[in-house]
Structure 1
Amino acid sequence: MKNFTYKICVFLIISILTFNNCKTSKNSLSISNEEKISFSKIEGDTITISSDVTEYDIIIIEPGFNFWLQSTARPEGFYSQTYLENRNQIYVSEWNRRVLQPQRYNPNLYELEINYQNNIDYGYEVNYKLYNYFIYFQRKYNQRLGPFMPRI
């Protein structure tokens, strides 16, 4: 009986250690020095994303985002428009869900709903910059808006 109890204790200890190691590696983000610089910027940084073809505008007022976009984000053309649209739909849905729950999610982070619709072609530039804003936001504020880690 003592041998059986000993085996269970060893198994539990190994399980707990393994679980903690997996949990830590899944949740940790590797933040580069350039990202740390962009995250620490405090002056206003406004980007207007617009498309002449679709007549839609997005205005992002986030200190450091433009610097991060130029220095850290993947270049335009790296992702397909379909990829960006699919990810943006996931991120926008979760974002809007959080906007509607200010008692649960920080209302200073999630202030306004985003009106993004699947059936509208916003063009590559709008989707590219919106997607990168979501990546920037998730990395800077340690948030997760989807089932995958926000990576570059």
Structure 2
Amino acid sequence: MKQLKFYTFLIPFILLIVSCGSYQTKNNTTIKEQPVVIANEALQYEIIIIDPGFTTFLNTQARSKEYYSESYLKNKNRLYVNVWNNRVRYPQRFNSNIYENAIDYQANIDYGLDVNYKLYWYFKFAEQKYKMKLSY
């Protein structure tokens, strides 16, 4: 009788595990992530970020556009861009697979909130993904 109780408990448990496992494989589809475009058409300025994971990071980790002021984002971006561009100039010291291109960010140009927001959060994403620090 004890064996029957054990099997009675074990069978639903095994069915639960098997059904959960089969459910996960049905939903295990790969979704191709689209690049993030940072653009200001009036200034003819565009950055295309194709770094896998950034779209998800932007949608799940980034705070809303209204959280920081545009001037805050602009000041942070100016600092981050300086560090980034310095690392681009020294590929023998820094990973050239990460720091491939210099960013032409000029402090006297008003790029708008959208450009500053996405650029700021890309730097935050890069710091987390590549385990680096871009601020002094």
TM-score calculated relative to the size of structure 2? 0.74
Q: Is it true that 1:119 corresponds to 2:114 in the alignment?
A: no
From 111, 126, 129, the equivalent of 1:137 is: 126
C-alpha separation in 2, matches of 1:94 and 1:109: 13
Aligned match of 1:84: 73
Per the TM alignment, residue 99 of structure 1 is displaced from its structure 2 partner at its CA by 0.3
Matches within 5 A, 1:14-93: 44-93=33-82
Question: Does structure 2 retain, via aligned residues, the 8 Å contact 1:45–1:62?
Answer: no
Aligned match of 1:105: 94
Q: Which has the larger radius of gyration?
A: 2
Q: Which deviates further from its counterpart, 50-59 or 105-114?
A: 50-59
Q: Percent identity?
A: 48
- Unpaired runs of 5+ residues, structure 2, are 1-29
Question: Does structure 1 retain, via aligned residues, the 8 Å contact 2:33–2:55?
Answer: no
C-alpha separation in 2, matches of 1:115 and 1:104: 21
Give the letter for the 1:95 counterpart: W
C-alpha separation in 2, matches of 1:48 and 1:105: 25
Aligned match of 2:135: 146
C-alpha separation in 2, matches of 1:42 and 1:135: 23
Per the TM alignment, residue 76 of structure 1 is displaced from its structure 2 partner at its CA by 1.1
Q: How many residue pairs were aligned?
A: 107
Q: Can you list the C-alpha shifts for 1:59-92, whole angstroms capped at 9, x where unaligned?
A: 1111010111011111111110000000000000
Give the letter for the 2:35 counterpart: T
CA RMSD of aligned residues (A): 1.7
Give the letter for the 1:63 counterpart: P
C-alpha separation in 2, matches of 1:144 and 1:42: 30
TM-score calculated relative to the size of structure 1? 0.66
Three-state SS of the structure 1 residue aligned to 2:56 is: helix
After TM superposition, where is structure 1 displaced by more than 4 Å over at least 4 residues in a row?
41-44
Question: Does structure 2 retain, via aligned residues, the 8 Å contact 1:50–1:57?
Answer: yes
- Unpaired runs of 5+ residues, structure 1, are 1-40, 148-152
Aligned match of 1:23: none
